[in-house]
Structure 1
Amino acid sequence: MPFSPSELILNADGSIYHLNLLPQDLAPIVITVGDPDRVEHVTKHFDTIRVKKQKREFKAQTGTYKGKEITVISTGIGTDNIDIVLNELDALVNIDFNTRSVKENLQSLKIIRLGTSGAIQPEIEIDSILISQFAIGFDSLLQFYDSKHIQNTKIQNAFIEHSKWAVEKSQPYVITADENLLTHFTETNYHIGFTATNVGFYAPQGRMLRAKLQDDTLNSKIASFRYEGLKITNLEMETSGIYGLSRLLGHHAISINAILANRTLGTFSRNADKTVDFMIKSALERIKSL
């Protein structure tokens, strides 16, 4: 049955509603960044650029890097935006916009997040690169989907018990990276981590300015959690949503993080731009051989 206009929303030119992209605008490899200004930090390394579009915080450019076609798109901050971006990327390749129906032959995208993050383990140094093998989401996004079959309930239940997780908060969920992409992008000097995706930047990440925290020990509980050798390494705001929706929709995703802060030590990078550019150039070199 075709999707109704209220469910699959298209613009007047036939592009998908929020991303403002047409199916032919999208490459099979997609780099996501949070900040719209970071799109050009990636595409300045491209040989060619054939698409430049922006609507709200969603800025997209498609071009080639050493013969490999790539789309770079900004998501803005948070898994609420990831819900929009991942569903609309999937629609661009797997829904026929003319018939408003799912295509018979489905396509899998390769999705690489290049983001920034703060470490919560003291041994993870500032200006290092961390690849997320696991993500634990505190954001509730995946709980709105039929997703129990892709969640690691043993790890998430162990975390809930360890942290004395408040029932008023959304139930955490744990998702793994795409195994092949994890292997492909791993380098000897990279950390392999377990990333916590938070629903906000201040209280959800243990920052207190004027409003008091519900649990001022939460960050220490997160940092002290252990499960069969795993420990949570860093905090950010998108990875769990990218991993969860990618797995549900049949895409392959990896999250690469430039560590710009260490929350345990209270330190912040003095070379943030240099570190982010190193991450971008390293990722592009890996992408060309995908």
Structure 2
Amino acid sequence: MILNDDGSIYHLKLLPSDISHTIVTVGDPDRVSGVSKHFDSIEVSKQRREFKTETGKYKGKRITVISTGIGTDNIDIVFNELDALVNIDLKNKTIKEQFTSLTFIRIGTSGAIQADIAMDSFLVTETAIGFDNLLHFYGNTNFLDTAFSKALVAQTSWNKNKSIPYVVKGDSNLLGMFLKEDFIKGTTATNVGFYGPQGRKLRLGLEDGELNNKLERFNYQGTSITNLEMETSGIYGMAALLGHKAISLNAIIANRALGTFSDRPKKTVDSLIKKTLDILVKSID
């Protein structure tokens, strides 16, 4: 475990006192202020690389918001280091006897792959499918749904040279909390890139130009894939490994099945942020 000269954790440059136990994650560092602008006060504001963190009070409840950047490789950094802040004695570099659980809420944008998912709607991810390789580097992953994964591989004729998809669920209590607020329940595919992995073609050809259509048609025990993004599987996987709670909220700003894009994406994201904060404060002790 690497620390900076001031004793802060290496990449995030944070001290244990800098964070709340309720943490909102966003991808874009510029979106951090889109969350914290609603705070009553801000007590911490730090940034290193793409990792920007602000902690403050919203309606009297302490909340941290942090940017992860894009991709599950960054999620590996952020979640390990945030966990270390509460569960490792940084001075002695020993694991604490008393475990502290964190609650993570991702607020992000996403593209739907089912035609019936409305533009500018809010979706909460029940199940995440990781097309990345992150969780395959860790042990103790018996919480993964291997039957679901095998069905996906079979139905899509998955290329054997690609990482085998892994399937992991979010926290059921957090899921229920947002479903009560009229969020769409979804199954989210987390991609390893924005262009080829999501079926976008600029100058390069695709290994499987029909993959998005296969994902749209996929069905496992009545469950279809609803949307694509780039962090949720890593968030759910790392939270499960480390013993934390996590849920992913998605502002649907594109529909890949229809080829349409929101004409008010910033307004939609801002609405999701405000609604999420109002829901969260009801659950924070």
Q: For 1:43-86, what per-residue CA distance to the aligned partner results, in whole angstroms no more than 9, with x for missing partners?
A: 00001110000000000000010111010000000001001001
C-alpha distance in 1 between matches for 2:130 and 2:140: 13
Task: Tell me the equivalent position of 2:225.
Answer: 232
Aligned length: 283
C-alpha distance in 2 between matches for 1:197 and 1:62: 27
Task: Tell me the equivalent position of 2:139.
Answer: 146
Moved over 3 A (4+): none
C-alpha distance in 2 between matches for 1:45 and 1:280: 9
C-alpha distance in 2 between matches for 1:185 and 1:16: 32
2:117 to 111, 124, 129: 124
CA contact (8 A) 2:141 2:241 kept: no
C-alpha distance in 1 between matches for 2:96 and 2:165: 33
Aligned AA (2:34)? H
C-alpha distance in 1 between matches for 2:282 and 2:182: 19
Aligned AA (1:278)? S
1:79 matched to 2:72? The reply is: yes
How far off its partner does 1:188 sit? Answer: 4.8
1:182 matched to 2:166? The reply is: no
How far off its partner does 1:190 sit? Answer: 1.8
C-alpha distance in 2 between matches for 1:50 and 1:25: 8
Aligned AA (2:255)? N
How far off its partner does 1:235 sit? Answer: 0.1
C-alpha distance in 1 between matches for 2:180 and 2:66: 24
CA contact (8 A) 2:11 2:48 kept: yes
1:254 matched to 2:238? The reply is: no
C-alpha distance in 1 between matches for 2:162 and 2:152: 14
C-alpha distance in 1 between matches for 2:22 and 2:181: 24
1:48 to 37, 41, 51: 41
C-alpha distance in 1 between matches for 2:140 and 2:199: 28
TM-score for both structures, normalised by structure 1:
0.97
How far off its partner does 1:125 sit? Answer: 1.2
Task: Tell me the equivalent position of 2:209.
Answer: 216
Task: Tell me the equivalent position of 2:89.
Answer: 96
C-alpha distance in 2 between matches for 1:101 and 1:19: 19
Q: Gaps (5+ residues) in structure 1?
A: 1-7
2:188 to 172, 190, 195: 195
Task: Tell me the equivalent position of 1:271.
Answer: 264
Task: Tell me the equivalent position of 1:284.
Answer: 277
Task: Tell me the equivalent position of 1:63.
Answer: 56
How far off its partner does 1:253 sit? Answer: 0.1
Q: Gaps (5+ residues) in structure 2?
A: none
CA contact (8 A) 2:124 2:186 kept: yes
How far off its partner does 1:218 sit? Answer: 0.4
Aligned AA (1:51)? V
How far off its partner does 1:187 sit? Answer: 3.8
How far off its partner does 1:189 sit? Answer: 3.2
Q: Percent identity?
A: 59
C-alpha distance in 1 between matches for 2:212 and 2:120: 21
C-alpha distance in 1 between matches for 2:15 and 2:181: 39
Q: For 1:95-143, what per-residue CA distance to the aligned partner results, in whole angstroms no more than 9, with x for missing partners?
A: 0011101000010000000000000000001100000000000011111
Q: For 1:203-250, what per-residue CA distance to the aligned partner results, in whole angstroms no more than 9, with x for missing partners?
A: 000101110000000001111110111000000000000000000000
